Amino acid sequence: MTFTAQLDEMLSALRITRSRLLAPLDHRQQLLPRDPSIFAEDVLHFVMDQWSDDLRKQGHVLEEDTSWKDPVSLYPRYTLRMAGGDAIDLLFTGVYPGSLFLTISKGLPRKQQFSDARAVQVPLNLSNDPNALLHGILHGIRTYSTP
């Protein structure tokens, strides 16, 4: 499966997740928590757990890579195993509360390896609203997938 086809598969499940979770924006929750671990738990992990459920229904497995530890950033890393056996790494990066990016790359056998040749980086807005994060990921992947 090509990298673009893998992005299309991810996009398909993400659309389902977004339509399932779509809710009105709560403008009272605009302030980000001071503790980045609260943001990671309440927003990032929640969104990824919901997306994981929809990916699983399509035969894919999305798991957090708990062996990944970044001393500077508390953002998580995930591995997506596609139904055909291919792997994709999803790494959230940035400096809280200033920036957030999702880097999607072709999975390599060693976790310390990374391929820029098969990678896309999606800039995301930091928000307490999971819908905003879902929309940002959806829009970013759509930018790199086939029309």
pLDDT recorded at residue 5: 85
pLDDT recorded at residue 19: 78
Q: Is the pTM of this model over 0.85?
A: no
Q: Are 102 and 64 in contact (CB under 8 A)?
A: no
DSSP for 85-131 reads S-EEEEEEE--TTT-EEEEEEE--SSTT---STTEEEEEE---S-HH
What is the chain's pLDDT, residue by residue, as a tens digit (147 residues)?
Answer: 888 888 888 888 888 887 777 655 555 556 788 888 889 988 999 999 999 999 999 999 999 998 877 777 788 999 999 998 889 999 999 989 999 999 999 877 665 555 556 788 999 999 888 888 999 999 999 888 765
Q: Structural domain boundaries of the chain?
A: 3-24+37-144
